[in-house]
């Protein structure tokens, strides 16, 4: 388990099996120069976000945590504890609005 998720869930982090061990949680996929950089999140986490929000979303780098249309902006793939709280508050507010 990624330490980020363990911190969010307040549980002891577990190591990934060999299938997922090569994935870099800080990976950022660069797109065209004029476009925003996409943040590469684990597939399951992205699917969970989309399930809660009820729509397909694109995760990009931004100055702050925000959701506009179908674009979720995050400061980076690695979030601080305060940023994680802010992200989950945003997710729950979107779920309540639906």
Q: What is the pLDDT of residues 6-29, one digit of tens each?
A: 777 777 665 656 665 566 555 555
Give CA–CA dist 61/51, Å, rounded.
21
Which has the higher per-residue pLDDT, 2 or 40?
Answer: 40
- pLDDT score for 45: 84
* 58-61/66-68 β-pairing: unpaired
In 3-state terms, the chain is what percent helix, strand and coil (to 5)?
A: 35, 15, 50
- pLDDT score for 86: 92
Note the pLDDT tens digit of each residue in 34-75.
456 888 888 888 888 888 878 898 999 988 899 888 888 998
Q: Is 72 exposed, middle or buried (0-12, 13-18, 19+ CB in 10 A)?
A: buried
Above 70 in pLDDT, residue 92?
yes
Q: In the chain, what are the domain boundaries?
A: 25-97
């Amino acid at each position: 388990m990624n330490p980020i998720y363990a911190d969010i869930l307040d549980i002891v982090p577990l190591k990934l099996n060999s299938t997922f061990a090569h994935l870099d949680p800080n990976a950022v996929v660069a797109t065209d120069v004029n476009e925003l950089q996409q943040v590469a999140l684990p597939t399951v986490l992205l699917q969970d976000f989309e399930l809660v929000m009820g729509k397909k979303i694109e995760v990009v780098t931004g100055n702050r945590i925000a959701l506009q249309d179908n674009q979720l902006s995050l400061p980076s793939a690695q979030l601080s504890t305060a940023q994680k709280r802010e992200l989950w508050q945003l997710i729950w507010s979107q779920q309540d609005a639906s």
